[in-house]
Amino acid sequence: MSTAEFLLKNLTFVDFLWRLPILFLYFLPSLIGRKKPDFKTLFVINLLAGWSIIGWVFSLYLALRSDSITSAISSGANATSKASVADEIIKLRNLCDQGVLTQTEFERQKNNLLS
CB 38 within 8 A of CB 70: yes
Q: Which H or E run contains 80? A: helix 69-98
List the chain pLDDT tens, one digit each, 115 residues: 677 777 677 777 777 788 889 999 999 999 999 998 889 999 999 999 999 999 999 999 999 987 655 555 555 555 555 668 888 888 888 988 988 888 988 898 888 888 7
Q: What's the whole-model pTM score?
A: 0.49
- Count other Cβ atoms within 10 Å, centred on residue 110: 16
**By residue range, what is the domain housing residue 105?**
70-114
How many structural domains are present in the chain? 2
Looking at the structure, tell me whether residues 7 and 49 fall in a common domain. Answer: yes
Looking at the structure, tell me whether residues 18 and 32 fall in a common domain. Answer: yes
